[in-house]
Amino acid sequence: MGVALPSVHGPHVPQHPQPQPEKLHWRLGTSTNRCTRERVISHTCECRTVLFELRAAGGVYYIRRTDRTSDPVGLAFLARAVWETEGYLHRRALEVWDRLLVGLAV
Ligand SMILES: [Zn+2]
């Protein structure tokens, strides 16, 4: 019996959300940090063209969505491929993140 290797994949956002998902408010973002203390808490799998990141910026949390299909030259914000949610408090951010990962929020 072999030991299962840890997956190199992060979580995948479902291709098709659940019926009537919560609609998050996405605003056009930039691919730069909002503040110097910004960090990525969690992110979805790199194998997908659309990457979601749960980010913290000075005590405020938000989700960034980057569509790399429309970012051939690494200037995603110019291609309108980077979108961000509003800022959340920690508990709400984790809730939104969990809902996103199971297709209950889009
Ligand atoms: Zn993957």
Residue 13 lies in a domain: no
Q: CB under 8 Å to 20, separation ≥6 — which residues?
A: none
CA of 59 to the centre of ligand 1 (A): 29
Q: What is the distance in A from the centroid of ligand 1 to the CA of 80?
A: 24
| Number of domains the chain is built from | 1
Cα of 6 to ligand 1 centre, how many Å? 13
pLDDT digits (tens, 9 = 90+) for 54-90: 999 988 999 999 888 765 666 655 566 889 999 999 9
87 part of a folded domain: yes
What range does the domain containing 59 cover?
27-101
Q: Of the candidates 80, 85, 93, 66, which has an alpha carbon nearest to the alpha carbon of residue 27?
A: 85
Residue 8 Cα, ligand 1 centroid: separation in angstroms?
8
b/e per residue 18-28 (b: at least 16 CB within 10 A): eeebeebeeee
Mean pLDDT, the chain, whole residue set? 86
Could you tell me if residue 79 is inside a domain?
yes
Q: Record the pTM.
A: 0.82
CA–centroid distance, 89 to ligand 1, in Å, is 28
How far apart are the CA of 35 and the centre of ligand 1, in A?
29
72 in any annotated domain = yes
- For residue 6, tell me if it sits in a domain: no
